[in-house]
Amino acid sequence: MSAASHGALGLTLCSSAFAGLGRAQLKALGQPGLPILEIEHPFGGRSRDEVRAIAHTLIAQIAVAASTAAAGASAAGTSATSTPAAGGVEAVRAIALPSDAQAAHIECVRRRWSDGLPVIAPTPERVEAMIAARWPRDQLIATLAPGFGEATIERIATNAVLAGCEPAHLPVLVAAVEAVADPAFNLQAVQSTTNPVTTWLIVHGPVARALGVNSGANCLGQGNLANATLGRALRLILQNIGRAWPGEMDRATHGQPGKFVFCCGEVEIDHPWQPLHVERGFALADSAVTVIGASGTLNMNTHTKDADQLLDCIAHSMAFPGSNDYHYCGEPWLILSPEHAAVLAGAGLNRQQVQQQLWSRSMMTAGEFTHADFLRTASMRAAEFPQLTPQPRVPPSRTPADIGIVVAGGPGTHSVHVPTFGETRAVSRRVGVPA
C-alpha cells in the first residue's frame, strides 16, 4: 500500500492461514487487486532446505505477478456503499430490520453487527437521543484499524445504542475511541493478532462515579449496566467500525471472554496510593479512560498478610514461559484487591517500590523459554540484550514503571494478573463533552 503511493508495486507473501486477512486488509486499504502469493502454513518451522524449495517455487510466481498485477490493481473496484457526506466523511446508511425483536436479533447476527447476543435496534431516534446534540454527528473521531473505518460520532453512537448504552455513556466511548487510535496502543496488531487480546477499558474520576461504573466486588463480572454496556460498545465499535470480524481480519486463535466485555473502574476513595489516572498525569477531579491490550486474567489467591511473601507470590505468578510481555518487552498489569494493596502499603511500600520489587522478583531466566521463543526474545529485545544467551534474567518490561497497577475489587484475598499482548502500550484520554 505504501509502496503504491511511491509508484512501486506491492506484493505480499502470506502463509495460507493468513491469506484471508491479507486480502481483507488490501480491500480495506482500497487496493484489492494487489497480488498475494500463498505459502503453505505454517512457514516458521520449516527446515532450511524447505525454505529454499519454497523460494524456488515463488520466484516464477513473483515474476508473473509483477508483470500482470499492476494492470489489474486499479480495476478491482470497491465495496464502498455509502454516500460521502459534504465534508467527505461517509454518511451512515439506513437499513430495514424485522420489527420482531427475536427476528431482529437473528438478522443482526447474520449481518455480523452483534457479538452473538441480542442488541438494541439502532433506530434513528435512538441514535439521535444518544448524540443529544452534543457533537456534530459527522464529526470524525478516528479511523480504526485494521479496516480503517471512520469512527464518526454518528457511527460510535449507533454502536453504543446496539450495546445498550445510555446517552451519558457516549463521552466515555468517544474518549475510548481516541485512545485506541493512538499509535502507542497498536490497534492494527491488537485487532488482527492470533493472540487472545481484548481492549480492557478502565473509567476514572467523576464520570465513573456518575455512571455507576463498578470498581468493587465482581467489577470484572456481570450485572452492572455501565461496565457491561461500555465494554460491549467498545467491542462492537472495534468490530464494526474497525471491520475486525473473527476469522476474517480478527485472527484470534481462541479469543477470550473479555472480548465480550472487559471494563471496570478503579477504587479512588481510600486508595493506598494515587489512583491510576493521577499517576498518568490527570488531576484527581478529571474524568478519563485508560485502554490496555489485555491477553487474559489470572487469579492470584493468597491469604498472606506478609508483604514480602505477597510480592513473591505475585511476581512468580507473572512469570510464565508463554508470556508475550517477556518475549516482546511488554507492559504487564496487575489489579490489586484493596486487601492486598493494604498489605503492601501497610508495610510502608509506595507504588514505585512495589513496581521495583515486582520487576526484580518476576525476572525469568532466558533459558526457561522454549527455543523458538528464546530466539524471538533474542530478536525482539536485542536492544536490551545484545547477543542474548540462556543465562541472563529477563524482566517482563523495560523498566519497573512499566508494570501497571490498578486497585479494584471487593473484599477477598485475590488479585489479578493481566498479561498483555506485549507490543501495545496503555493509553489514557480525558473524557469530556464539547462546550
Q: Which stretch binds other proteins (CB under 8 A): 13-21, 172-180, 315-323, 342-350?
A: 13-21
Q: How many residues bind other proteins (CB under 8 A)?
A: 106
Q: Measured from the CB atom, is 366 or 408 closer to other proteins?
A: 366
Binders of other proteins among residues 330 to 349 (CB under 8 A) are: none
Question: Which of residues 115, 135, 138, 149 is near other proteins by CB under 8 A?
Answer: 149
Supply the DSSP string of 111-168, one letter for each residue: TT-SSSS------HHHHHHHHTTSS-TT-EEEEETTTTEEEEHHHHHHHHHHHT--GG
Tell me the closest approach of the beta carbon of residue 277 to other proteins, in angstroms: 27
Q: Which amino acid is at 104?
A: A
Binders of other proteins among residues 74 to 113 (CB under 8 A) are: 74, 76-82, 90, 92-99, 104, 111-113
Question: Which of residues 115, 131, 146, 150 is near other proteins by CB under 8 A?
Answer: 150
Whether the link from the prior residue into 42 is cis, omega within 30° of 0, is yes
Binders of other proteins among residues 159 to 188 (CB under 8 A) are: 159, 162, 186, 188
Binders of other proteins among residues 17 to 76 (CB under 8 A) are: 17-19, 21-22, 25, 27-32, 34, 41-46, 48, 51-52, 54-56, 58-59, 62-63, 66-67, 69-71, 73-74, 76
CB-CB neighbours of 172 under 10 Å: 27
Question: Which of residues 105, 243, 351, 429 is near other proteins by CB under 8 A?
Answer: 243
Residues 107/97, Cβ–Cβ less than 8 Å? yes
Q: Which stretch binds other proteins (CB under 8 A): 212-220, 239-247, 263-271, 338-346?
A: 239-247
Copy the grid coordinates of residue 1: 500500500
Tell me the closest approach of the beta carbon of residue 337 to other proteins, in angstroms: 32
Q: Which amino acid is at 342?
A: A
Residue 203's H or E segment, with its range, is strand 198-204
CA dihedral 322, 327, 328, 332 (to 10 degrees): 50
Q: Measured from the CB atom, is 69 or 401 closer to other proteins?
A: 69
Tell me the closest approach of the beta carbon of residue 204 to other proteins, in angstroms: 27
Q: Measured from the CB atom, is 129 or 347 closer to other proteins?
A: 129
Coil, strand, or helix at residue 210? helix
Question: Which of residues 109, 168, 189, 401 is near other proteins by CB under 8 A?
Answer: 189
Q: Measured from the CB atom, is 52 or 393 closer to other proteins?
A: 52
Binders of other proteins among residues 405 to 424 (CB under 8 A) are: 421, 423
Tell me the closest approach of the beta carbon of residue 314 to other proteins, in angstroms: 27
Q: Is 370 in the site for other proteins (CB under 8 A)?
A: no
- Residues 323, 326, 332, 334, CA torsion sign: positive
Output the CA angle 327-329-333, nearest 5 degrees. Answer: 105
> How far, in Å, CA of 170 to CA of 126, rounded?
13
> How far, in Å, CA of 422 to CA of 330, rounded?
4
Tell me the closest approach of the beta carbon of residue 145 to other proteins, in angstroms: 10
Coil, strand, or helix at residue 251? coil
Binders of other proteins among residues 262 to 321 (CB under 8 A) are: none
Q: Measured from the CB atom, is 53 or 283 closer to other proteins?
A: 53
Q: Measured from the CB atom, is 48 or 269 closer to other proteins?
A: 48
Phi-psi region of 332 (alpha: psi -120 to 50; beta: other; left: phi over 0): beta
Q: Measured from the CB atom, is 309 or 379 closer to other proteins?
A: 379
**Alpha-carbon distance values, 162 to 82, 89, 239, 409 (Å):** 20, 22, 12, 28
Give 398's DSSP letter: S
